[in-house]
Amino acid sequence: MTGQELDRGTLKEINGLDERPASWVAKHLVMAGRYLDVDPALAFQHALAASRKGGRLSRVREAVALTAYAAGEYADALREFRTYRRMTGDDTHIAAQVDSERALGRTEKALQLATEVDATRLDRAARAELAMVVSGIREDAGDLQGAHEALQIPELDRRRGYPFSPRLFQRQADVLLALGRRDEARLWARAVRVAEKALGVGGFADPEIIDVDTEPVEIPRDRRPSPRERRHERYAAEAGAEPTADGSPAEEPGATTEPTEAPRPEAATELPAAVDAPDEVDPNQLSLFDALEAPEADER
């Protein structure tokens, strides 16, 4: 790990520091990123370490905010999110900031903060995250209709799939069910499965593959050979062949081993075509079956 694993924008900002502080900051940011999902508390400590020598860098403050939020340190997260927004004017993490206010018990302040941002100017992911957070706050307050209205954004479309779509669709299904609109809730629950299948997440995610070491283990020679090994050595001596490391006879000269046929890679799965797709397609957007028309969505 050298610190050069960071993205170009972050490296460019860090390179404004002297060489030794820059290396310190970069390496701690790399470690913060590596531990963010597996040990958020440790990731937070690495981000704090980076801030000791790079606290004036916006990317460092962003890392501190995100790791603090993941670790449940909401007061620290809120402070760092505010600092990051003040330094950059970037509202990308507004949903996490609103959720931090909610986590600290300041519901009204959270909702007020959500209205201060023009949601139409946010990118798709930030807008969806904000909608889900606000919907959750409304539902917790007993305002189910408000929770439903908060989700009515362009990205709530069963024909379109984004990385956040399964969670957005599930939130819609949950709110509709709470409102007693069971048939509509069922449609959105189906859409969750369709989206997960198209995106390859959830129950349709590829299984983790672990490489197993199949290299032969060298047998130490500082012990007495077993009867089997002695027999192999005797047979090898009689045949005039040198015994191998594990005591088995060496392969005869000129002998060849038939190569094992390599497994053929599976054919790529073609995603279902979009329904009424627009002329310009977002590069982060995947096409989905319409949940009402997809065969997978039919009632069993």
Q: Which domain holds residue 3?
A: 1-90
Kindly tell me the burial class for residue 209, based on how many C-beta atoms sit within 10 Å of its own C-beta (0-12, 13-18, 19 or more).
exposed
81 token code pair: 């999110």
pLDDT of residue 3: 72
How many structural domains is the chain composed of?
Answer: 1
Is residue 215 a part of any domain in this protein? no
79 token code pair: 């402070």
Backbone region of residue 104 per phi and psi (left: phi > 0; alpha: psi in -120 to 50; beta: other values): alpha
3-state secondary structure of 160: strand
Q: Give residue 38's identity as a one-letter amino acid code.
A: V
- Is residue 199 within 8 Å of residue 229, measured between CB atoms? no
pTM: 0.68
Residue 44 C-alpha from the chain's centroid: 18
- Is residue 55 within 8 Å of residue 61, measured between CB atoms? yes
pLDDT of residue 204: 72
- Is residue 25 within 8 Å of residue 14, measured between CB atoms? yes
Tell whether the torsion through CA atoms of 139, 145, 151 and 156 is positive or negative.
positive
289 token code pair: 């079956």
Count the residues in the chain: 300
Tell whether the torsion through CA atoms of 58, 62, 64 and 65 is positive or negative.
positive
Cα three-residue angle 254-259-261, rounded to 5 degrees: 170
Number of C-alpha atoms within 13 angstroms, CB side, residue 208?
2
Is residue 263 a part of any domain in this protein? no
219 token code pair: 């047998």
Kindly tell me the burial class for residue 110, based on how many C-beta atoms sit within 10 Å of its own C-beta (0-12, 13-18, 19 or more).
buried
Is residue 243 a part of any domain in this protein? no
3-state secondary structure of 187: helix
Is residue 22 a part of any domain in this protein? yes
Is residue 49 a part of any domain in this protein? yes
Is residue 270 a part of any domain in this protein? no
Residue 179 C-alpha from the chain's centroid: 32
Is residue 162 a part of any domain in this protein? no
Q: How would DSSP label each residue in 59-114?
A: HHHHHHHHHHHHTT-HHHHHHHHHHHHHHH---TTHHHHHHHHHHTT-HHHHHHHH
- Is residue 106 within 8 Å of residue 114, measured between CB atoms? no
3-state secondary structure of 286: strand
State the DSSP code for 3: S
- Is residue 219 within 8 Å of residue 245, measured between CB atoms? yes
pLDDT of residue 4: 81
3-state secondary structure of 174: helix
Segments of the chain with pLDDT less than 50: 241-300
Is residue 100 a part of any domain in this protein? no
